[in-house]
Structure 1
Amino acid sequence: MAYIRVGISGWMYPAWRGDFYPKGLAHRRELAYAAEQLSSIEINGTFYALQKPESYVKWRSETPDGFVFALKGARYITHMKRLLDAETGLANFFAAGTLALGPKLGPILWQLPPTLQFEPARLSNFFDLLPRTTTEAAELAAGHDEKLAEDRVFAQTEIELPIRYAVEARHESFAVPEAVDLMREHDIGFVVADTAGRYPQITTPTSDFVYVRMHGDKELYASGYTDDALDEWAERFRGWMDEGLDVFVYFDNDMKGFAPHNAMALLDRFT
């Protein structure tokens, strides 16, 4: 049966302390607390820099069985390399500890820069490099370069599991049937992004799951969702689930602290 997972993008926000996080909660307990309230978290630190294997091990140990992390792919690959010549970057990304999450490894998100237009060949070549199982990812990770010292490498997997990928496109040229067809051909989820109208919102499923990022419907990163808005989104999510699609939803409207409260309110609609 299809399922829904609801969470937040990141969890270390000082403004949440004394609000979402109870007053006096130790900072080191914040992940564990958030994981008790939600069913998934999107790790965005992986976008900015390679993490250490011990960080992934720690995150895994601090969350309950059945919990899942989504990972935001490295901006080195999406924004600097712009998806070109990405094999070594991918090897480093997977070698830096990603696989230490084990069964808690959820979808991997590639957020493209707003200036990157739809180019079928560029995207296809990148998609062909992506390992589709944790075993393939471990094999790719073995090709990491010297940027990773050996004591910062975790290039193994305890169990073979499929790896899902999603792409968040931010250039209007992606809002065409050809882009949808390309994503579907490569079994890549087309992210449904609610961005207060700033970027395209593409809602056609292209894989066996749907990845949704809630950035704010009125003001990007800053506005909260009303009960009526959450009801409308929940109905859309139920429709996808009825089609047999798993749904992953992450609230990124964190600027004023709405994200965790909106996430919990949405999750309540499915419990």
Structure 2
Amino acid sequence: MIRIGTSGWRYPEWRDGFYHDVPQKRWLGHLAGHVGTIEVNGSFYRLQPPSNYQKWAAETPDDFLFAVKGSRLVTHHKRLRHVEEALKTFTSSLALGAKQGPILWQLPSTLRFDPATLQDFLTLLPPGRHAVEPRHESFRTDAYFSLLHAHNVAHVVSDAPTFPCIEAVTADFAYVRLHGHDELYISSYSDEQLDEWARKIDDWDRDTFVYFDNTMHGAAPYNALSLMERTTSPARR
């Protein structure tokens, strides 16, 4: 199962391009009709009510999956420490049912790898698929990979010019975030770059979730569709 989509869907910059002539209230359904997954970003900034997740699930195809970005209260404010209550509050708000995909835990760029802290955090995670996106070079170590492998948590392979791209597959699924290779959140991926990512995905030979986060100039949905054409078994064409 290879699912490719975008990080979020509410972008005014897409109005005259991908969403041309599509009313804003139909943006999610329009995008979900073309890709197999979308990453929910608003959940990072504030706790979403269960009714929001139920509404989004109702607007998407039966075989669709959402990834959900974990709360910044857990990752950025508490920095993975003493997060029992915050984790419980966040996960209990999710109401996607069968459309629930992985939960993404994006770490702040100032957070260094600490084995004990990460071990405690991973132990607290509820059942389901989870992925960790570190943004500090200190995570480029076998000790980090081993911890994720032991808990079947995916390391997020990120492509960006401003934080390290650490390529490792640590779980029975892979998770990729493509933020823009040359300009963060902006630059489009070339045919050659998309070919290379398609090759990597095929070589991993496991369930894979890919999200284009180069959203600011509207490249993300088009890059997602192009990569879908290149992979051997995309979930949706």
Structure 1 residue 22 displacement after superposition: 2.1
Deviations 1:19-39 (A, max 9, x none): 01122x111100000000111
1:107 is matched with: 102
1:269 Cα offset (Å): 1.8
The AA in structure 1 aligned to 2:148 is M
- Partner Cα separation in structure 2 for residue 201 and residue 106 of structure 1: 23
CA distance in 2, matches of 1:79, 1:250: 21
**Is 2:177 the counterpart of 1:213?**
yes
Unmatched runs of 5 consecutive residues or more in structure 1 = 133-162
SS of residue paired to 1:204 = coil
| Aligned residue identity for 1:258 | A
Task: Using the TM superposition, give the Cα deviation of residue 255 of structure 1 relative to its aligned residue in structure 2, in angstroms.
Answer: 1.2
Matched, 1:199 2:152: no
Secondary structure, aligned partner of 1:191: strand
* Alignment partners' CA distance in 2, 1:171 and 1:15: 30
Q: CA RMSD in A?
A: 0.9
1:49 is aligned to 2:46: yes
Cross-structure match for 1:170: 135
Task: Spell out structure 1 runs of 4+ moving beyond 6 A.
Answer: none
Counterpart residue number, 2:217: 256
Secondary structure in structure 1 of the residue aligned to 2:138: helix
Distance 2:91 2:43 in 1: 11
TM-score between the two structures when normalised by the length of structure 2: 0.96
How far did residue 59 of structure 1 move?
Answer: 0.4
**Map 1:89-128 → 2, pairs under 5 A:** 89-96=86-93, 98=94, 100-128=95-123
Q: Given the two structures, how large is their TM-score scaled by the length of structure 1?
A: 0.84
User: Following the alignment from structure 2 to structure 1, what is the Cα–Cα distance between the partners of residues 67 and 120?
Assistant: 23
Q: 1:40 aligns with which of 37, 42, 58?
A: 37
What's 1:129 paired with? 124
% same residue: 51
Residue 214 of structure 2 aligns with an amino acid whose one-letter code is: N
Distance in 1 between residues matched to 2:111 and 2:152, nearest whole Å: 20
Distance 1:204 1:74 in 2: 24
Higher Cα radius of gyration: 1
User: Quick one: distance in 1 between partners of 2:129 and 2:15?
Assistant: 33
Alpha-carbon distance between aligned partners in 2 of 1:70 and 1:115, rounded to the nearest angstrom: 24
Partner of 2:16: 18
In the TM superposition, residue 257 of structure 1 has moved relative to its aligned partner by 0.8
Matches of 2:29 and 2:69 in 1, distance apart? 20
1:52 positional shift: 1.0
Classify the secondary structure of the residue corresponding to 2:185.
Answer: coil
- Aligned-partner Cα distance in 2 for 1:269–1:247: 14
Tell me the CA shift for residue 177 of structure 1.
Answer: 1.3
Q: CA deviation at 1:220?
A: 1.2
Find the aligned partners of 2:194 and 2:47 in 1 and give their Cα distance: 34
Hey, what does 1:227 align to over in structure 2?
Answer: 191
For residues 193 and 226 of structure 1, the distance between their equivalents in structure 2, rounded to whole angstroms, comes to 17
Q: Distance in 2 between matches of 1:182 and 1:200?
A: 19
